[in-house]
Amino acid sequence: AVKNRDTIVTVHKVHAAARLLAASAPVTADASSTIFIRLCVYLCRAYKDIIYICPFAGALKGKVFITNYRLYFRSNDVDPSVILDVPLSTIGRVEKMGGASSRGENSYGLDITCKDMRNLRFALKQEGHSRRDIFELLFRYAFPVSHGLQLFAFLSQEKYEENGWNIYEPVDEYRRQGLPNDKWRITFINEKYELCDTYPTKLVVPYKASDEDLRRVATFRSRSRIPVLSWIHRENQAVIVRCSQPLVGMSGKRNKDDERYLDVIREANGTPKLTIYDARPNVNAVANKATGGGYEGDDAYQNAELVFLDIHNIHVMRESLRKLKDIVYPNVEEAHWLSSLESTHWLEHIKLVLSGAIQVADKVSSGSSVVVHCSDGWDRTAQLTSLAMLMLDSHYRTLRGFQVLLEKEWISFGHKFTSFPTAFEFNERLLVVILDHLYSCRFGTFLFNCESVRDANALRSKTVSLWSMINADSSSYVNPFYTVESSRVLYPVASMRHLELWVMYYIRWNPRIRQQSQSPMEQRYRELLALRDQYVKKLEELQMSEDPSSPHLTNNSTPSATSPRQRITHLHTPF
């Protein structure tokens, strides 16, 4: 038997629950491993005769299983069964619906608000205190830290051939970019997180700037997040530098060390005028002066040009996303869809971020170095730097390169697309999986706010990396249309006329959308990959069979010295 406090579930019930959960549980790539359900995932309780108020199919009776990782529902009165599989960490709020005196069908139960655009409603019987039990279990395991429990990622026993924690090694990534060089160096001043507790241990800074210079600059930047290099252009040596706002304040304070430091960045590749992209609207940047922040004024930074990108803060973004959720779930109102979407302002925010990233990429591509920041330099700043680097560097558009980009610009430096059909090695499914596991708490990849806290909690040794799972099944995330183009810079069109809502994420829970688009697209991906591999194999067999006696070769002709595999790399299928 499996025991959890006062709840004892017999073995045959555990097995029955395991069979149900196995239908949706991911399978590890390691052949010696069992499915994901192990001792780390244990059944807390099973409930029958629960009614799920499905927004698409009406009231459905079925069974609910709650483990310390997920809520799982399977209907038993329709065929095919309706299944819900919700990692508990995806739950944002649990509320009781109705009371003991409630009358009316399905008026008593639970409302569950999820972080993945879903709202779930369950109706229960009023007798037997079943709602109280479910509420307490969900509340306990959906918010484990509040109840003195470990996050699930620390309990997971998943095993993979590759350790995903090794996908990003800062020094290796900087070497790939051609660093260090005679203008830029790698410093270990933050090795113990003493300079900045939200920055990584390894930073790239101007060669002319000493560690003591860095300490003085840190006193004038919010949260001590000094300007450091994110990316360098191999040909023109222009750089993308990220940081936080200067601490100018209402009195207009200046810091000669900070001013000189930005000038050293400008001089590194001979940029005539350093462009500083402030992600905020101008009025917000001015308002930040009241709390000690501010921006780089022309009088102090005479060799710099300041550009405001008008991207709103996280509070405005959250409100916009809330409005978007209201119009996409549970149902989409076709008659007023365009006006409803416009009222959320979501695509306007996307357009501003995309437009800002294009400006950054274009400036660097033309040979000018840039500095990017917002207030604290980890929300809008990371959006702009990572998107610009996606446009500039084709390595980040590969499956592994994209993982490095997320680890580097978002995870390592701390944090509180539109398609191009042949430019990215990975497909849409990868983005959805990453977003889902941002909340699932199954992996340690996105836990905590910065590298210092992750190190303090020993994430690399105590949890599994998301990249371990993804790279164990990399073919599922490959774009069959991908074409390698090492030097191409992408310039998407940041126009409202060309932007579309990401339907396969925001409206994916609507069964009509799933039936029409999701499954056929994934199936088509797999078919194209299989067909490509088939053609490559046939070509390789033909090339291997060539010899001097072949009737297709004349007496004066000789076979190419290029190996079959080398020649295959030039093959382009018609897909």
pLDDT digits (tens, 9 = 90+) for 222-249: 999 999 999 999 999 999 999 999 999 9
pLDDT at 521 over 50: yes
Mean pLDDT for the stretch of residues 521-534: 74
Give residue for tokens 């040979």: 367
Contacts 24+ apart (CB under 8 A), 522-531: 522/429, 525/427, 525/429, 525/478, 525/479, 525/480, 528/480, 528/481, 528/575, 529/475, 529/478, 529/480, 531/573, 531/575
CB of 419 within 8 A of CB of 395? no
Residue 364: partners with Cβ closer than 8 Å, 6 or more residues away: 231, 233, 238, 239, 240, 370, 388, 392
Mean pLDDT, all residues of the chain: 85
Report the range of poorest mean pLDDT among 209-223, 326-340, 362-376, 524-538.
524-538
**pTM here?**
0.83
Question: Cα separation of 378 and 285, whole Å?
Answer: 16
Give residue for tokens 């930073």: 203
Q: Please give the share of the chain, as a percent, with pLDDT higher than 90.
A: 64
pLDDT category at 312 given cuts 50, 70, 90 is very high
- What pLDDT score was predicted for residue 556? 41
pLDDT category at 47 given cuts 50, 70, 90 is confident
pLDDT at 543 over 70: yes
User: Of the spans 250-259, 326-335, 536-545, which averages the highest pLDDT?
Assistant: 250-259
Give residue for tokens 């222009």: 238
| C-alpha closest to that of 261 among 196, 217, 215, 195 | 217
Strand partners, 120: 112
- What pLDDT score was predicted for residue 415? 64
**Of 303 and 483, more confident:** 303
Question: Cα separation of 475 and 493, whole Å?
Answer: 30
Per-residue pLDDT tens over the stretch 271-297: 999 999 999 999 999 999 999 999 999
- What pLDDT score was predicted for residue 34? 36
User: Residues within the annotated binding site for substrate?
Assistant: 313-314, 374-380
> How many residues in the chain?
575
- What pLDDT score was predicted for residue 434? 96
Residues annotated as catalytic (active site), given as ranges: 374
Q: How far apart are the first and last CA of the chain?
A: 54
- What pLDDT score was predicted for residue 103? 74
pLDDT at 89 over 90: yes
Token pair listed for 449: 């706010």
- What pLDDT score was predicted for residue 45? 82
Token pair listed for 440: 């699932």
**Of 205 and 504, more confident:** 205
- What pLDDT score was predicted for residue 373? 98
